[in-house]
Amino acid sequence: MALTLMKGSEAIAEAAIRVGCRYFFGYPITPQTEIPEYMSARMPQIGGTFLQAESEIGAINMVYGAAGTGARVLTSSSSPGVSLKQEGISYIAASEVPCVIMNVMRGGPGLGSIQAGQADYSQSTKGGGHGDYKLVVYAPSSVQESIDLMTIAFDVAEKYRTPVLIAADGMICQMMEPVELPEMIEHKIDYKKMPWAITGEHESDTHKRAIINSLYITVEELDELNERLQANYRKIEENEVRYEAYNLENAEIVVTAFGTVARICKSAIDDLKEEGINIGLLRPITLWPFPYEAVHKAATQPGVKAVLDVELNAGQMLEDVKIAVNGDQKIEFLGRYGSHMPTAEEIYDKLLQMRREF
């Protein structure tokens, strides 16, 4: 296994390239600027296209265009920039074309801060743009997982013809970790599998004319699109839920957390285990589809007396945890706003305090 020491942002960019991404459109914003920087150097080496757009709005519409050809395309931004992309994302979802969008979350709202945040959970999972659409949302908690999820993200985007969002945070992109990268693959557009993709050529026996569009003139046609999208989302909910269960056996408290924060929770859980106290962790890897069943099951297993949800926001995933638990378990929340990373000690102390109150 050949390990390389990589910064999260470089690793994310290289992973996208290795799984066949040849188009990147973006605009700089801290803490993800190293992704476009890396792409600007790397894409020309492998015959790909890097383009710094005039704005985030420009970038997402370039993604929309490239995605319509069936090519693997990525854009990346951070919270305020991703807000600007929302209209385009809604169009991409409505046009049923695959792409991957990175959101390296920072503190918000507004211009917020350049430090890590998780306050775009609701925007990512509840439809930040207009209309009845969903994004598949992955939340990596390490540099290696960011790499591994990039492969999955492109595959899922193509399988379901849907935009996929990877919600990382500033810490993951700025952190350096030893990682293993996937082998470089050659991604060829297979028009047999992607008859919807535009070719730029006249209709032929092998390829019918394809139209990428999100405007539907009649009520019936728009209804048909919405029915198709919803059926697709139900399939995704059925097949694509991912989560990590950690130390759930004999747990007294189950912690729910995602991304960076989940990893800090793990440190607290490991420390408590050394003291002979068992705390479990249920970490959603897909924020949508949310692992409702797994969270309910973990929260209500025998011996569990409470759930602690920890987030770097005011309690956005907490709403989904509450839906999952459905009143069957006591839930407490430990939150810090973006750019104020909780320490393992704070989580450790909170868990001990909860135990005293059993």
CB of 27 to another protein, least distance (A): 16
- Candidate residues 4, 230, 250, 353; the one interacting with another protein per rule CB under 8 A: 4
Q: How many helices (H) and strands (E) does the chain have?
A: 12, 14
Residue with tokens 């993951």: 172
Residue 112 makes contact with another protein by CB under 8 A = yes
Nearer to another protein, 70 or 170 (CB): 170
Whether the Cβ atoms of residue 27 and residue 77 lie closer than 8 Å to each other: yes
Stretch of 261-269, 290-298, 312-320, 350-358 lying at the interface with another protein (CB under 8 A): 261-269
Nearer to another protein, 266 or 296 (CB): 266
In whole angstroms, what is the distance from residue 66 CA to residue 189 CA? 12
The DSSP H or E segment spanning 334 is: strand 331-335
CB of 144 to another protein, least distance (A): 10
Residue 146 makes contact with another protein by CB under 8 A = no
In whole angstroms, what is the distance from residue 202 CA to residue 39 CA? 33
Residue 263 makes contact with another protein by CB under 8 A = yes
User: How many residues interact with another protein (rule CB under 8 A)?
Assistant: 30
Q: Which residues of 207-230 are buried (b: 16+ CB within 10 A; e: fewer)?
A: beebebebeeeeeeeeeebeeebe
Nearer to another protein, 114 or 277 (CB): 114
CB of 31 to another protein, least distance (A): 7
- Candidate residues 214, 240, 339, 355; the one interacting with another protein per rule CB under 8 A: 339
Nearer to another protein, 109 or 303 (CB): 109
- Candidate residues 166, 175, 287, 317; the one interacting with another protein per rule CB under 8 A: 175
How does DSSP assign 294-321, residue by residue?
A: HHHHHHHSTT--EEEEEESSSSSHHHHH
CB of 135 to another protein, least distance (A): 26
Separation in Å, CA 101 to CA 53, 138, 161: 15, 10, 14
Nearer to another protein, 153 or 172 (CB): 172
- Candidate residues 20, 28, 30, 65; the one interacting with another protein per rule CB under 8 A: 30
CB of 30 to another protein, least distance (A): 6
Whether the Cβ atoms of residue 243 and residue 283 lie closer than 8 Å to each other: yes
Residue 311 makes contact with another protein by CB under 8 A = no
Q: Other C-beta atoms within 10 Å of 41: how many? A: 11
Phi and psi for 26 in degrees, rounded to 5?
A: -165, 180
Residue 139 makes contact with another protein by CB under 8 A = no
Residue with tokens 């999208």: 229
Residue 176 makes contact with another protein by CB under 8 A = yes
- Candidate residues 32, 115, 124, 286; the one interacting with another protein per rule CB under 8 A: 115
- Candidate residues 84, 341, 352, 355; the one interacting with another protein per rule CB under 8 A: 341
CB of 4 to another protein, least distance (A): 6
Whether the Cβ atoms of residue 303 and residue 252 lie closer than 8 Å to each other: yes
The first and second tokens of residue 332, run together, are 């407490």
Within residues 49-78, the interface with another protein by CB under 8 A covers: none
In whole angstroms, what is the distance from residue 337 CA to residue 116 CA? 10
Stretch of 132-140, 285-293, 315-323, 336-344 lying at the interface with another protein (CB under 8 A): 336-344
CB of 150 to another protein, least distance (A): 16
CB of 315 to another protein, least distance (A): 21
Separation in Å, CA 322 to CA 53, 123, 189, 291, 295: 40, 18, 42, 12, 10
Residue with tokens 């999952």: 324
- Binding residues vs another protein (CB under 8 A): 3-7, 10, 14, 30-31, 107, 112-115, 142, 170-171, 174-178, 263-264, 266-267, 339, 341, 343-344
